[in-house]
Amino acid sequence: MSKAVLEKEIVIEESTDNYEVSGYLSITSSETIDVDVIGGMVYLEARGRMASKKREFMSFRISNRKTLQANVPYKIPFSFTLNDVEIGTYKGKNVDIAYRCEARIHVEDDDIGKVDRSFFSKVKSFVTSDDSLKTSAYFYVEDTTSTYKIEETTRTLDFKTNLMMSIIIAILFAGIYLFLIPEYNVGYIALGLIVLLLILIVTKMYMKNALGDVTIETLQDEDAFLCTIKKTKNFNLANQYLYYRIIEKVVDDRGTSSTTYRSTLYTSEKKKLVNHRDYAQLKFTYPTSRNWHSNELGIGGVEIYWEMHLVGTSYLGFVLKYTTGFFVAQRR
Amino acid sequence: MKEKFEFNPFAGVLEEDLGKILVPIFNIDAISYQIEHADSLAIEFIGKQGRGKTTHLRYLQKQFNKYPIFLLNTTNANISEMMTHEADVVFVDSIHHLSIADRIQLFRSKRVVIYTTHWSRKYACVLTNKKHYSIPFKGITVATLRSVIDKRLQLASRNKIVIDDLFTEKELKSLIRKFKDNYRGIINHLYEQYQ
């Protein structure tokens, strides 16, 4: 008697915002065999530029005991609801998060020897450790209804070091220092580096104090948000504008050194601050993509965060930047 | 091409799939024998980052589930957990996160220590009178790279497919020219291209 070759495929037809999922398992056996049970497993998987992670999410039953007649195609429908969903599916630049539905076909013990296993390979296995046959499909739950809600709070922006200005200061300092020191040796070079570092720190502190603190207050405004900037009178940069960015952060901790990847998912419109004295209020819209809310995604090393940027030009022509993170939740 | 694959073949692999994508650079059975029978031994996986040291270490440890693996980093490099563990064989990733004193203490107390490092820890072995065996993770060939890539493509494929030379020899040579033996650099580059 020839061995039974099983052709099987799992298809997810629909996955809704309410996390109701439906699909079917199509299965055809070249020989008649008895199946004890067909179980379904759902996993949440994060795969990207990091050690990928998998979490068992739920299990359900696709079919009870069944006889598969030779060469008769069977289409077994199923449906399930994903409860207690903490993490939505997500297609990012450095990571994808998706659900995987796996059907496990447990052939009757008496018939397991009849199943052809010659097509199994070491790399791509279609059989589980408990001898059941498996087939699986990935699916994403497309979010079409949720919106965003900003955390209503006040935050102080951080003054960022200007790289170009630091390089110019370093070159000027090096020129003067190397001219003044009596000889080139390790001690003098180390001393020079320490003094340069101190000069850069003091310069940054001086500029920060001269410009004064800048704070932003965020407020939800229907399907957008308002950002009120409060500044001191000394804050006199030219060409000031404000925008926000949504950033995907993935920490790749594979191996002996870790690397952090940051990719910008979205940059908002840059809004100019014109003719304002102590404060200005600007309105920003949210992005059309719906699942970019601030989220650590419950998976180690993967995070989405929002950042506000205030940019201006000093009277010496240096572009100076202030930033702060802010929190945006998902609103269902 | 994307329709052939369930996920980006160049993404990091799941713990359970490590063995399926690994192209061993040493004889696993010979090393395993040494781990079980040596009186006092330190096995060092040495090389720059991205050469496969940690992947090999994690895979090897999976063959010896009774022995623990400690994945050290800047925030998690406490030796006390290793010292209190009853096993006389330990796997340590990134041993450079331990101080010299801690490394010596570890080498003295454990029969076999298998670890990854950027720089040789031979002198700690000399000080503790431990036999030292170093496995360098260096170099790359077109054949090995093809094997690494093919295994990943096979793992991510929707069905069992024949990988009909998706990458030509010229393309593989070009990757090696650009990234040298930095496997992770190559895989990350391919991830980006695919994504």
Provide ipTM, 2 decimals.
Answer: 0.82
Q: Which of A195, A211, A227 is the last residue of a domain?
A: A211
Q: Is residue A222 part of a domain?
A: yes
3-state SS record for B20-39:
HHCCCCCCHHHHHHHHHHCC
What was the pLDDT predicted at A266? Answer: 95
CB contact under 8 A, B7 and A258: no
What was the pLDDT predicted at B164? Answer: 64
Here the CATH number for the domain that contains residue A237 is: 2.60.40.640
Same domain, A204 and A240: no
Which tokens is A32 given? 């008649």
Best B188, B189, B193, B194 residue to mutate vs chain A (most A CBs within 10 Å)? B188
Distance between CA atoms of residues B51 and A63, nearest Å: 46
Residues of chain B numbered 94-123 and touching chain A (CB < 8 Å): 94, 96, 116-118
CB contact under 8 A, A124 and B154: yes
Q: Which residues contact A14 (CB under 8 A, 6 or more apart)?
A: A20, A21, A22, A23
CB contact under 8 A, B11 and A48: yes
Distance between CA atoms of residues A160 and B37, nearest Å: 57
Same domain, A38 and A178: no
Same domain, A205 and A221: no
**How many domains is chain A partitioned into structurally?**
3
pLDDT (average), residues A303-328: 90
Between CA B62 and CA B65, with CA B63 as vertex, the angle to 5 degrees is 60
Q: Using an 8 Å Cβ cutoff, are A247 and A296 in contact?
A: no
Same domain, A127 and A201: no
Q: How confident is the model at residue A199 (pLDDT cuts 50, 70, 90)?
A: very high
Q: How many CB pairs under 8 A join A and B?
A: 78
Q: How confident is the model at residue A130 (pLDDT cuts 50, 70, 90)?
A: low
Same domain, A152 and A282: yes
Across A94-108, B158-172, B179-193, least confident range: B158-172
Q: Is residue A205 part of a domain?
A: yes
CB contact under 8 A, A121 and B160: yes
Q: Using an 8 Å Cβ cutoff, are A107 and A117 in contact?
A: no
DSSP state of A90: E
Q: Using an 8 Å Cβ cutoff, are A43 and A92 in contact?
A: no
SS3 B96: helix
Distance between CA atoms of residues A122 and A125, nearest Å: 6
Size (chain B), residues: 195
Same domain, A279 and A318: yes
Among chain A residues, CA nearest to B92: A256
Same domain, A152 and A274: yes
Q: Which of A90, A108, A139 is the last residue of a domain?
A: A139
Q: Using an 8 Å Cβ cutoff, are B191 and A96 in contact?
A: no
**Bridge partners (DSSP) listed for residue A58:** A42
Q: Is residue A109 part of a domain?
A: yes
Nearest to A96 among B8, B54, B55 (CB): B8
Best A97, A256, A260 residue to mutate vs chain B (most B CBs within 10 Å)? A256
What was the pLDDT predicted at B135? Answer: 95
Q: Is residue A224 part of a domain?
A: yes
Q: Which residues contact A202 (CB under 8 A, 6 or more apart)?
A: none
Residue A292 belongs to domain spanning: 147-157+213-331
Q: Is residue A266 part of a domain?
A: yes
What was the pLDDT predicted at A291? Answer: 80
Q: Does the beta carbon of B8 lie under 8 angstroms from any beta carbon of chain A?
A: yes
Share of chain A above pLDDT 90, in %: 36
CB contact under 8 A, B8 and A123: no
Same domain, A187 and A244: no
- The most confident of the ranges A207-221, A306-320, B102-116 is B102-116
Q: Does the beta carbon of A257 lie under 8 angstroms from any beta carbon of chain B?
A: yes
Q: Does the beta carbon of B20 lie under 8 angstroms from any beta carbon of chain A?
A: yes
Task: Please indicate whether residue A85 or residue A185 has the higher confidence score (pLDDT).
Answer: A185
Same domain, A105 and A193: no
Same domain, A71 and A95: yes
Q: Does the beta carbon of B173 lie under 8 angstroms from any beta carbon of chain A?
A: no
Provide the mean pLDDT of chain B.
90
Q: Using an 8 Å Cβ cutoff, are A113 and A50 in contact?
A: no
Task: Please indicate whether residue A111 or residue A169 has the higher confidence score (pLDDT).
Answer: A169
pLDDT (average), residues B157-186: 84
Same domain, A194 and A65: no
Nearest to A256 among B93, B160, B191 (CB): B93
pLDDT of A93 over the 60 cut: yes
Nearest alpha-carbon partner for A123 in B194, B161, B127:
B161
Q: Is residue A1 part of a domain?
A: no
Which tokens is B123 given? 């002198």
Same domain, A218 and A190: no
Among chain B residues, CA nearest to A100: B6
What was the pLDDT predicted at A141? Answer: 83
Nearest to A255 among B11, B13, B54 (CB): B54
Q: Does the beta carbon of A144 lie under 8 angstroms from any beta carbon of chain B?
A: no
Q: Which residues contact B59 (CB under 8 A, 6 or more apart)?
A: B18, B19, B22, B24
**Bridge partners (DSSP) listed for residue A281:** A228
Q: How confident is the model at residue A119 (pLDDT cuts 50, 70, 90)?
A: low
Q: Using an 8 Å Cβ cutoff, are B189 and B176 in contact?
A: no
Q: N- to C-terminal Cα distance for chain B?
A: 12
Q: Using an 8 Å Cβ cutoff, are B44 and B123 in contact?
A: no
